[in-house]
Structure 1
Amino acid sequence: MENGNTKVSAEYGHIRIANEVVATIAGLAATEVEGVTAMSGGIGGGIAEMLGRKNLTKGVKVEVGEKETAVDLNIIVDFGSKIPEVAKAVQENVKRSIESMTGLAVVEVNVHIQGVNFVTPEPKEEDRLK
């Protein structure tokens, strides 16, 4: 690893994959899974801090070596979701995405459930006019 980037030797030179690239792939792959409301900044960032697709690296921590990577994700799930199933789907999607896009071997994907999103129904038009 050099300056926080993955360095891979290639036939014509070196390929460097920045940690932020791996974190972005992981964040996007996690938010694609049904039942994941958002990424969370973690306990330090506050559970109430829910982030959309604009900042996919929030709630994602990666450790990248020359050939392997490990990922920690902090997520918020939808109320009513089966948390173990959502977490397993996140692990599989993140692993598949990182390995196919970067060629790095994903040794672990740790999913930390930081909260549950309770969906509140939108007020009806009649209720808003009262």
Structure 2
Amino acid sequence: MAEETIVLNHASDIAGETRINTRVLELIAALATSEVDGVARLRESLTNWAQEALGRKVHGKGVELKQTEHGLEADVFVFISYGVSVPKVARKIQEHVTTQIAAMTELNLAMVNVHVQGMVSNKPTLSVDPNNLFGETTEQKGAEE
């Protein structure tokens, strides 16, 4: 299966071309998304999980790029933190992804679609110590023995 690449524009007086794999663009978009405050994590697809299970390293988790008649479009799938403004976080994702792709590749995205897949609570998880199920201190244990 051939890898999908995009030819980057460059000065016409230089011989040759520069191609960038779309997986690199997905990685840039994923990293840019994860830098936005309010993003808890990116979605992992069943395909990503299966590829990782087979030993392949998956980089652009939660991001899909496609070429349309309008240009290059990105779909970003995220879980956001509970309590944040969804429209504000989505707008920041769109701006940051667009800016980072342009800065690193000089490509302009036609569209960045943000798909909020869910919310993640920042509530701390309780952990249980199997050696101390009842929360006894060492002083209490010593007094009982």
Query: What whole-Å deviation, never above 9, does each CA across 1:61-99 have from its counterpart, x for those lacking one?
Result: 01248xx42100000000001010000000000000001
1:95 maps to what in 2? Answer: 98
Counterpart in the other structure of 1:75: 78
Structure holding more strand per residue: 1
Contact 1:39 1:56 (C-alpha < 8 Å) held by counterparts: no
- Out of 25, 40, 51, the residue aligned to residue 22 of structure 1 is 25
Instruction: Give the aligned length.
Output: 116
- Which structure has the higher relative contact order (CA within 8 Å, separation 6+)? 1
Matching residue of 1:58: 61
Uncovered stretches (5+) of structure 1, i.e. residues with no partner: 46-53
Give me the CA root mean square deviation.
2.4
Match of 2:122 in 1: 119
Q: CA deviation at 1:3?
A: 4.4
Any stretches of 5+ residues in structure 2 without a counterpart? Answer: 48-56, 136-145
- Report if the CA contact (8 A) 2:8-2:107 is conserved: no
**Computing the radius of gyration over CA atoms, which structure comes out larger, 1 or 2?**
2
User: In structure 1, what is the Cα distance between the partners aligned to 2:111 and 2:120?
Assistant: 26
Q: Distance in 2 between matches of 1:12 and 1:58?
A: 35
Task: Summarize the Cα distance change of 1:14–1:86 in structure 2 as closer, same or farther, 3 Å threshold.
Answer: same
Q: What amino acid sits opposite 2:111 in the alignment?
A: E
Q: TM-score, normalised by structure 1?
A: 0.78
Contact 2:75–2:112 (CA<8 Å) still a contact in 1?
yes
Q: Distance in 1 between the 2:67 and 2:104 partners?
A: 14
